[in-house]
Amino acid sequence: WVANIWSNLMYAPFAAHWNMLGWPAAAVPVGSDKENGLPTAVQLVAEPGGEATLLGVAAQIQRLRPWERTAPNFR
């Protein structure tokens, strides 16, 4: 049990809590920061059984802020 928690925390530290609780969560890209052009995202979490709501909100965000599929040119 401890090994499972430790590996979850090391693999996905921001989502680990939700994974262990069994609550559905998603990280949805929302664009890039204005200063460095690095990608940004928002983490959404729903209560158990809320997958449909979670996916619906994620779809709305992606429609409003489509994610660029190409990487910017870094120098």
| pLDDT higher than 70, residue 28 | yes
pLDDT single digits (tens) 29-53: 888 888 887 888 899 999 999 999 9
Question: Sign of the CA dihedral 20, 23, 29, 34?
Answer: negative
Taking the whole predicted model, whether its pTM rises above 0.85 is answered as no
Q: How far apart are CA 68 and CA 30, in angstroms?
A: 10
- Closest by CA to 43, choosing from 17, 21, 20, 68, is 17
